Structure 1
């Protein structure tokens, strides 16, 4: 018996939500306003949570999105959120690029944008990088050299990033990579956030989304 992953659960939820709102829209002659769409999806999520339609893996996500919709109304942009999740996870699933190769391509692209890229130093204590304000991405040499085997990421890799995370997330996605959300508390490099890359993109929670393009 195969255990459902978070990626599978959140993608199933996003696709079902999009299908539900599209089906509902086709049954109404007048186009719905963003507020009406948000209200519909909020109610749909409430019912889905109540009936335990989806995996427990996404229960916290549903609860958070329902809370946002109730407080923000159309500002929660639930349809945009679900569309982004569906597109991003499917793009990563269908990428022909091996994850290790994708990471190396990402570093090359960022270097071309004048980012400081460091992968040849072991990071095992808190450090400070003097880069004169340049955007930077640092990976411990041990992780970079040992967690990629046969062009695939086989163990989690921490990336310490200072710069526009939206740029990194979008470039990573074009290489078939999903990044974790950024975390300031776990970073070992001052003024940087920690982002995780995982084997097969299997994160335990929602990845960093590129919402700006939706």
Structure 2
């Protein structure tokens, strides 16, 4: 028996939500306002959570989105969120670029955009990088050299980033890579945030989304 992954559960939920709101919209002649769409999806999520329609892996996300919709209304942009999730997770799933190769392509692109990219130094203690204000990305040499096997990311890789995370997420997505959310507390590089790359993009929580594309 194959255990459902977080990615599979998330994509199932996102596609179901998009189908539900599109079906509902087709049954109404008047165009719905963003507030009405948010209200519909909030109620749909509440019912889905109540009836345990989706994997328990989705419980925390559903709870958070319901809370956002109740407090923010249309500003929660639930429809946009679900479309973004569906598009980006499917894009990653359909990528034909090996994840290790994809990472190297990302680093080459950032280097071309004048980022300071460092992968030749072991990172095992708190460090400070002097980059004169340039955006920077650091990966420990040990992880970069040992966690990529046969052009694939075989073990989690930590990236320490200071710069436009949305840019990095867009560049990574173009190569079929999904980044974790940022974490300042685990960073070993001062003024940098930690982002994780996982084998086969199998994160256990929602990745960093490129919401600005929608």
Moved over 4 A (4+): none
Q: Deviations over 1:118-150 (max 9, x none)?
A: 000000000000000000000000000000000
1:195 match: 195
Q: What is the match of residue 55 of structure 1?
A: 55
Q: Post-superposition shift, 1:29?
A: 0.4
The equivalent of 1:114 in structure 2 is: 114
- Which deviations, in whole Å up to 9, do the C-alpha atoms of 1:53-81 show, x marking residues without a partner? 00111100000000000000000000000
Once the two structures are superposed, residues 20-55 of structure 1 have per-residue CA deviations (whole angstroms, 9 ceiling, x without a partner) of 000000000000000000000000000000000001
Please give the secondary structure, in 2, of the residue aligned with 1:196: strand
Aligned to 1:163: 163
- The corresponding residue for 2:141 is 141
Quote the Cα distance in structure 2 between the aligned partners of 1:179 and 1:57: 19
Counting matched residue pairs gives 214
Q: Corresponding residue for 1:33?
A: 33
SS at match of 2:46: helix
User: Residue 3 of structure 1 corresponds to which residue in structure 2?
Assistant: 3
Residue 13 of structure 1: aligned partner: 13
1:40-189 → structure 2 map (5 Å cutoff): 40-189=40-189
Partners of 1:55 and 1:195 lie apart in 2 by 26
The CA distance in 1 between the partners of 2:213 and 2:144, in whole Å, is 30
What per-residue deviation string (whole Å, max 9, x for no partner) do you get for residues 162-202 of structure 1? Answer: 00000000000000000000000000000000000000000
| C-alpha separation in 2, matches of 1:50 and 1:170 | 35
TM-score by length of 2: 1.00
SS at match of 1:16: helix
Whole-Å separation in 2 of the counterparts to 1:52 and 1:116: 47
Measure how far apart 1:15 and its partner are. 0.2
Counterpart-to-counterpart distance in 2, 1:130 and 1:148:
27
Structure 1, unaligned stretches of length 5 or more?
Answer: none
What secondary structure sits across from 2:194 in the alignment?
A: strand
Q: Calculate the TM-score normalised by the size of structure 1.
A: 1.00
Gaps of 5+ in 2: none
